[in-house]
Amino acid sequence: MLRRIPAAGRVTRVRRHLAFLVVLSLGVALRAGAMLGYRPALWFPDTYTYVVTALRPRPDLVRPAGYPMFLRLLEPFHDFAVVVLVQHVLGLATGVMIYAAVRRWRAATWAGVAASAPVLLDAYQVQLEHLLVSDTLFMFLLVTAVYVATGTRTWRGAAAAGLLLAAAAVTRTVGLPLIVLVALWLAFRRLPRRGARGTLWPAAACLAAALVPVGAYAAWFSATHHRFGIVGANGVFLYGRAMSFADCAVMRPPPDLAVLCDDTPPEARPPSQAYVWDPGAPLPSLPGITFAESSDRLAGRFAMLALRSQPLDYAASVLGELARGFVWGRPVYPDRVTYDYYEFPAQPPSHPARTPAILGLTLATRDYQRGSVDTRVVEPYAGWTRAYQDVARLPGTVLLVVLLAAPAAAVVRRRRGGPVAAPWTLPWITAVVLLVLPAATAEFDYRYVLPAVPLAFLAAALALTGPSAGRATEKPSLPADSMHNG
């Protein structure tokens, strides 16, 4: 039984966490305003494919089916408003976990509040939660996995982290390498108790728990498409990335690859996504389906030849894409249409006329919502939400400072005999991977940045005010005042 807490104790607990509760309450109010102002949800081009996969379960060639499974789970409610409500709850829960993680390692309370504030109060985070896309679910799964991994010393906790990572990987493929990353962190971390090294059992449990469901999904994908993987578009997207710098005069491709060349100078070319989706681009204009196995292999071969022939140009291109996330402003990129999807609209947005979108819209209206899915803009709530978005966002330059602050603080505070992998390292490395991989394999997109933000702030909070090397709590736990066992 839970021990009853005296009234004075409850007041003390509230006061101790008052600043965070205020920020959390503001986050709730912002999300309530979005739900009242934009009913039932906001749509994104990917949404239509997600709906089709949810209602006609089949692994998609471009996007894994984790998010469609999530939609399928909520389908009995027949209301996309329920979906965005759950996504807003996941966003709030992410903020709570960031705060709890900071307090678990006895870091300063103000650091926990500051670390949780971006995910709770950033208007673009709220807008992303209101979009029917996979990023909020992915962020929640990944932050939960990091929270569990950094707080466990047992194989059971590591296995739980592995299952969460598997769910994240089949939601967004960028989660796949993070399985290995977390397992390595578990293997090489040093436990705070007398500097003892951990065993390999937690790492093995994490890998096994993650690879079983990922392997099952890959088997489903293979049985459906007769090719190995969890998506079938890696070569196509890497080709789009390579076209930002590829010079066929330097590459000298064989005739079968030369059909993918573009004579336009690299500095005058459109963003990478145009080479994937524009019907007039070299790859989409070839006979057949862009994401067919033959096309994907052809595109992959071209991309790898470009990377081998022009490694410095590739590195410069990746750094250029990565830098887009660290500017103070928010310039339009990759194009106005995509950029506008991340803004709360003043007028009800229309649905695309493409065939896949028409099928998704038909299924959503007839089978999922069982009514109109058109977004209704309701004033004055929508106006208040837009006004907030005009002024409340996290500048990319601040994110860069936060990312640099964590290792800088760790160097300053480093002491002899400190842990090989301090608590801040896992969220920091995870945030860096989330930022670098899209820039290296596809292109920069504003929504790809947001899942990395809470982890970057968590790492900075732990590095700046968390336990010094060798002084970590012997058994990480939630704050003592929040756990009362009978």
In the chain, where are the structural domains located? 11-226+344-481, 234-326
Q: Say what the pTM is.
A: 0.91
| Per-residue pLDDT tens over the stretch 444-466 | 999 999 999 999 999 999 988 86
Burial class (CB in 10 A: 0-12, 13-18, 19+), 367: middle
CA 123 – CA 38 distance, rounded (Å):
14
Would you say the C-alpha torsion 234, 236, 239, 244 has a positive or negative sign?
A: negative
397 token code pair:
């330059």
The C-alpha atoms of residue 382 and residue 215 are separated, in whole angstroms, by 44
- Give me the residues paired with residue 376 across strands: 39
Grade residue 6 by pLDDT with cuts at 50, 70 and 90. Answer: low
> 344, 31 in Cβ contact below 8 A?
no
Q: How confident is the model at residue 61 (pLDDT cuts 50, 70, 90)?
A: very high
Per-residue model confidence as pLDDT tens digits over 111-137: 999 999 999 999 999 999 999 999 999
β-pairing, 376-377 with 38-39? antiparallel
Tokens of 59: 């692994």
Which tens digit of pLDDT belongs to each residue from 176-235? Answer: 999 999 999 999 876 555 444 557 889 999 999 999 999 999 999 999 999 989 999 999
Question: Given this model, what pLDDT does residue 5 score?
Answer: 56
Alpha helix positions (H), 122-254: 123-130, 135-151, 155-169, 176-188, 201-225, 234-242, 248-251
pLDDT of 189: 79
Q: Which residue has the tokens 């756990």?
A: 483
